[in-house]
Amino acid sequence: MPSIAGGLFSAGRGISWLRLRRLQRPLLSSLSAGGGSDAPHLPVVIVGAGPVGLALSFLLAKFGIKCTVLERSMEFTRHPRAHFINNRTMEIFRKFDGLAGDIERAQPPVDLWRKFIYCTSLSGSILGSVDHMKQEDFDKVVSPISVAHFSQYKLVDLLLKKLDGVGFQTCFPDELGGSSAQDLLLENKILMGHECSSIELTDDGILVGASFNNGGRMQERKLHCGLLLGADGARSKVRELAGISMKGERDLQKLVSVHFVSRDLGKYLSSERPGMLFFIFNPDAIGVLVAHDLEHGEFVLQVPFYPPQQMFEDFSAKVCEQIIVKLVGWEPADIQVLDIKPWAMHAEVAEKYVGCDNRVILVGDAAHRFPPAGGFGMNTGVQDAHNLAWKLCLLLNGIADPSIIQTYESERKPVATFNTELSLENFKAAMSIPATLGLDPTIANSVHRVINSSLGSIIPRNLQKVVLEGLFSIGRTQVSDYILSENNPLGSLRLARLRSILDEGKSLQLQFPAEDLGFRYGKGALVAEDCAESTYQAEDLKHSKRSSGEYIPSAKVGSRLPHMLVRPLSASSEGVFSTLDLVSGDKIEFVIIIAPLKESYKLAQAMLRIADEFELSAKVCVMWPQGSRDVEAKGSISELAPWTNYVDVEEIPRATVNSSWWEMCQVSNRSVILVRPDEHIAWRTEPDMVRDAYSDVRRVFSQILSLNRPQV
C-alpha cells in the first residue's frame, strides 16, 4: 500500500515539493543548455528502452525531470529473457503507481513456478526437485511483498502503460519528421528506431548523435543534453563510445536461447510436474527449460553450444524442435518455435560507472553483466535506477552538487561486484549437478579446447564437429537408464550425492534474502557510523561467498529501511502499512524516524529546520510502542511545533516475534534515523551524541548532498 502515509501529513510548515522544481536554476540551465548548437536542449537523454531504461524514465518523470529515450529497435522484443523479480525490486515497483500489484495479478500462480526440477526428460524420471518458496514468503515477514515470476516483455508492456500515465509517448521516425525536430517535440518521448551513434563532450553537456532510418534513408538526429544515461544493455554502445571497459570473466559459456510455445506441454507440466526451471539430462540431449508461463505454454530452452565446431546457424527451427522433443520425451503436436537467439555468459563489471566529466552514466547491464544464476541482472539494474533517480533530481534542481553522481558509482559498483561473485558461485552450484551425474562441464570445455588447439588447423570444421559431437555423445551415456539407476552401484552413488546436494541447499538457488534485502552501502550519499568502514569490510569478507542465509533486519547506515507493519495513531486515519511506505514514491523526501522522547523531538526539529534551509522536503515519523493511544500521540503536536509534517504510528510486531521496532533494528529507542528517498538509511545517531544540533545536522545534509566533496 505505497504512499498511504503521504496522505497523513498536513501541509503545514513543511517545505513544498513545488519549491524543488525551480527549473530556472543556473545548474539546470547549464545541464540542458545548447551552447550555440541547433540540437534540441534536454536535461537527460536515456539510451535503451528495456526494463531499466523505462524504470529510470518513469522515476525521472515522476520527479518532474524531462527526458528523452533512444531505442535502437523499431519494436519491443517479445523474447521473454529475464523473469524473476526479487523482493527488493518488487518493493520498488510498489511505488510505480501500483506496478507491483499489476505484476502479482498477471503472473502465473505461484504453485506453478515455485520448484526447480531435475529429470531425465520432462516425462521421464525425476532425479530431484527443490521448492524455493517458504511460508515466510507468503506471510511477508521481511518484506511487504513477495518475489514474482514475470517475463521481461510483459514487464516492459506494464512499464509502458505506467509511462503513458505520466505523459510519455512512443514515437517512430516517420512521426517526428526530419533530423531537426525541436526539443519540445522530443521531451518525454521514446524514440524507436534511434541508435546512439556518436557522443561529443561540449562545454556544457553532451552532443548525442542518433541514427535512424527515415523512408529508407539513414539520417542522424542531434540532441544536446546535460546528462547521457546508458541503459542500453550488455553490449552498450554508450559504454563503447565513452571508452569504458569491462573487467571480469568473459565467455563462460555460449548458449542458444529458443523461445517456443506449446499449450499441450504447458497443460501436461501444470498437472504432472509444475516448476519454473527444468534441468534435463539424457543420452540424446541436455538442456535447461525455463517455464515462463505454463498456463499459456510459453517456454525458453537454453542449450549450450561450442563454436566454431557448432555454430549458431546450425540451430534452425527444425533442429530446435528436434532437441525439444528429445528433452520432452514425447512429441507435443503444437510446438511452435518463435525466436532463436545466441548469447554469451559473462561475469563483468564496468571499470567505472561515470565518465566524460560526470556527463555519461552507465546503468543496468551496461554497467554489469552477470551469469543468469540467481536472477541478479535485471534486479540489480532496476535498483541502480532507483539509487540514481533521486540524486539526479536534486542535482538538476540545483540542490545537490554535481559530485553526487560519484556517489552512485561508490554505492552501486560494490553491489555489482558482489552480485557478480554471487552469480558465479550460484552458476558453479548449478554445474555441480551435471558433474555429480558424470557430466562434468569442465571436462566438456577441456575437450573443446583440445579440439580447437590440436585439430583446428588440420581438419575441416565439419569433421571437427563430428569428432566433438561424437565425444559429447559418448559422455552423455553417463545419464543412460543403465548407469543412472539405483540398481547400478555407480548410479546409486551418484543419485545419493545428488539428493544430498539438493537437501543441503548446495544446488542452484532462486532466493537470496540476506543479499537481496541486506546489502549495505559502505560509503556514498550518507554519513558513515564510527568505525563503519572496517566493520563494512569485515561483513563484506564474511558474506563474499554464496549464501542462502536469512535476512537480518538492521538500521545500520547504508542499509535498506527494515520492514514492519505500523498503524497511524490518528482518529481520522485507518489501515495498516509498511514502514517502507513512510517514504514517498511521488516526490523526493527524506524521513526522520524517532521514538516519542523529548531529546529525539528536539533533534528532529533541528533536522526539519536544516532540511528547510537546504530546500529539501522532509517529514518525521514518531514510532510509538504497541498499545499506545491516540491521546498520547497528541503530544507530538507541541513537541514538534511549528512543524506539522509528521505522523505518529504504532508498531505492530509479529505475534511470533513480539519485539519492538527498535529491537528488530538492533538499536536503542533513543536512536534518530534519517532515511533517504530510496529507502536507505543515510544517518543514525542519538541525541547525546550530537554536540551542536544545528552545525552537526547541517554537516550531515551537506555530506549527503555532496556539497562538501571535492570535484571529481
Q: What is the pLDDT of residue 631?
A: 74
Cell numbers linked to 639: 513537541
Indicate if the pLDDT at residue 568 is higher than 60: yes
What is the rounded CA–CA span in Å between residue 166 and residue 550?
38
Mean pLDDT of 463-492: 91
Contacts of 356 (CB under 8 A, 6+ apart): 199, 201, 206, 228, 242
Question: Most confidently modeled of 40-44, 131-135, 214-218, 609-613?
Answer: 609-613
Q: What is the pLDDT of residue 575?
A: 87
Q: What is the pLDDT of residue 27?
A: 47
> How far, rounded to the nearest angstrom, does the alpha carbon of residue 630 sit from its chain's CA centroid?
40
- Residue 637, classed as helix, strand or coil, is helix
CA distances from 453 to 154, 253, 386, 457, 605 (A): 44, 18, 47, 8, 72
The DSSP 8-state label assigned to residue 145 in this structure reads S
CB of 179 closer than 8 Å to CB of 58: no
Indicate if the pLDDT at residue 16 is higher than 80: no
What is the rounded CA–CA span in Å between residue 687 and residue 667?
14
Task: Give the global pTM.
Answer: 0.92
485-526 confidence digits (pLDDT tens): 999 999 999 999 999 999 999 999 999 999 999 999 999 999
What is the rounded CA–CA span in Å between residue 146 and residue 214?
45
What is the rounded CA–CA span in Å between residue 584 and residue 589?
7
Mean pLDDT of 371-392: 95
Q: What is the pLDDT of residue 3?
A: 41
Q: What is the pLDDT of residue 441?
A: 84
72-81 confidence digits (pLDDT tens): 999 999 988 8
* % of the chain with per-residue pLDDT over 70: 89
Q: What confidence category does residue 177 fall into, taking pLDDT thresholds of 50, 70 and 90?
A: low
Contacts of 637 (CB under 8 A, 6+ apart): none
Indicate if the pLDDT at residue 114 is higher than 50: yes
CB of 389 closer than 8 Å to CB of 75: no
Q: What is the pLDDT of residue 24?
A: 33
Work out the angle at residue 266's Cα, subtended by the Cα atoms of residues 261 and 270, and round it to the nearest 5 degrees.
160
Which residue segments constitute the domains of the chain, with CATH numbers given?
26-78+152-247+352-414 (3.50.50.60), 248-346+426-504 (3.30.9.10), 520-705 (3.40.30.120)
* % of the chain with per-residue pLDDT over 90: 76
279-297 confidence digits (pLDDT tens): 999 999 999 999 999 999 9
Q: Which residue has better confidence, 687 or 179?
A: 687
Question: Nearest-CA neighbor of 418 among 503, 520, 317?
Answer: 520
